Amino acid sequence: MKAAPHPAAVAVLFALCAGAAVADPPALPEASGTVSIPAQEWPFQPGPREITVHIRYPGAGRTLADIGPRTGLMLSLHNWGGTGFAGTADPGVLAARYDVVAIGVDYLQSGKEASIEDPEPYDFGYLQALDALRALHFVWDGLRQRGIAIDDGRIFTTGGSGGGNVSLMANKLAPRTFAGVIDLCGMKRLSDDIAYGLPGGSSLNARYSREPGHPHFLSPGRQELHFLGHPGHLAVMKALGASARIVSVHGAEDATCPAADADAFAAAVGEAGLEIDYVRVTADQLDGKVFTSAGHPLGNRTEIVHRVAGSWLDPASPQTRRREGPTDFERREAVRYPVTGGTWVIDFAKGYPVGRFEAAR
């Protein structure tokens, strides 16, 4: 079993190594493919870290030459325990159907061993969302450097289960970047049940500890960051001008990512004045093709995206969705979320985001 660092060491590593990178990123591939890029250091395993980025271009040739001025970008993020595009919408279909560069990310703790079997606590969307945003920035910036014009008002994200959680977190950490978010049965908060693997609730176990001296201690401030329905944080997003259309699709019988959390999240987002379409899937809505379950599986996740958001993902549609104004990548500002004991800061000074925690004085 790997030895975990002491909490004080974790804090020091966050402060000193938050932006550490292994090397300069590579060039964009000429054709659809896979590349590795540097990522922010993980305090539980200090040292250089890379993430794998899966890129699918639109058009018949699936190359850079097939990208046009209406082409957008779209993350499609895998589930807890998955890699590549497991448990999320098919990237080839997304790219062809909606004229987007579809991007998958093997973010922190991808794969069964790292996410389920290893002893370290499951990240639950913080560094994972920063990884997804860094991959998105890599493609966005790479196209700019090549002089390839796209419509960066059309930036979207979707994901299934853990990927839905990471999609929602990415929108939280970069609230002026996405035009739309399609969450498919993602976790909406790091509840005590999930954080500590308590019996009788969700089967998910993020492996945190309640004990303040334990290396895996979950601080109140860290737990608050993962609360996607946090009223104060939603108010921050609203004040910053967040304008993504959020579609949250969740089975009414989902016990893995509890349906009650999804209900509360949808209500909180609406009360904050942000745009949300809540698709609460019940047994009477099952059609055997698109929706096949009112539980966690939901159904065909590629076709669910088309059913709930296709009308505004399509650039040729009269309802096509665009975000106005510069992205967080261009603004190079910091997004700040106050929590118990300090503030979580997402700093875009380098273009891509670097996260850190600033303790209250």
User: Nearest 5°: CA angle at 241, between 321 and 19?
Assistant: 100
Measuring CA to CA, how many Å separate 201 from each of 24, 196, 251, 320, 342? 44, 11, 16, 40, 30
Q: What is the mean pLDDT of residues 40-66?
A: 96
pTM of the model: 0.93
Residue with tokens 């093997």: 106
How do residues 201-214 score in pLDDT, each as one tens digit?
A: 899 999 999 999 99
How do residues 164-182 score in pLDDT, each as one tens digit?
A: 999 999 999 999 999 999 9
| Separation of alpha carbons 135 and 67, rounded Å | 18
Q: Alpha helix locations (H) across the chain?
A: 7-17, 91-98, 112, 126-145, 162-173, 192-196, 220-225, 231-240, 259-271, 301-313, 328-331
- DSSP of 237-299: HHHHT---EEEEEEETT-TTTTHHHHHHHHHHHHHTT--EEEEEE-GGG--SSSB--SSSS-B
Q: 159: which DSSP letter?
A: E
The superfamily in CATH containing domain 7-359 is: Alpha/Beta hydrolase fold, catalytic domain (3.40.50.1820)
Distance from chain centroid for Cα 77: 7
Q: What is the mean pLDDT of residues 244-257?
A: 98
Distance from chain centroid for Cα 69: 25
Measuring CA to CA, how many Å separate 283 from each of 148, 251, 252? 46, 9, 8
- DSSP of 80-94: TT--TTTTS--HHHH
Q: What's residue 23's pLDDT?
A: 57
> What ranges do the domains of the chain cover?
7-359
User: Nearest 5°: CA angle at 169, between 166 and 171?
Assistant: 115
Measuring CA to CA, how many Å separate 37 from each of 195, 263, 328, 351? 29, 37, 20, 15
Residues sharing a CB contact under 8 Å with residue 117, sequence separation 6 or more, in sequence order: none
Virtual CA dihedral for 271, 277, 283, 285, nearest 10 degrees? 150
30 within 8 A of 23, measured Cβ to Cβ:
no
Amino acid identity at 1: M
| Percent of the chain topping pLDDT 70 | 94
Residues sharing a CB contact under 8 Å with residue 332, sequence separation 6 or more, in sequence order: 348, 349, 350, 351
| Separation of alpha carbons 314 and 289, rounded Å | 22
Q: What's residue 250's pLDDT?
A: 98
Q: Is the dihedral of CA 188, 329, 85, 129 positive or negative?
A: negative
Q: What's residue 200's pLDDT?
A: 87
Q: What is the mean pLDDT of residues 326-342?
A: 98
How do residues 262-311 score in pLDDT, each as one tens digit?
A: 999 999 999 999 999 999 999 999 999 999 999 999 999 999 999 999 99
The SS3 call for residue 348 is strand
Q: Which helix (H) or strand (E) holds 146?
A: none
What is the rounded average pLDDT for all residues in the chain?
A: 94
How do residues 97-148 score in pLDDT, each as one tens digit?
A: 999 999 999 999 999 999 999 999 999 999 999 999 999 999 999 999 999 9
190 within 8 A of 201, measured Cβ to Cβ:
no
Q: Is the dihedral of CA 214, 216, 222, 224 positive or negative?
A: negative
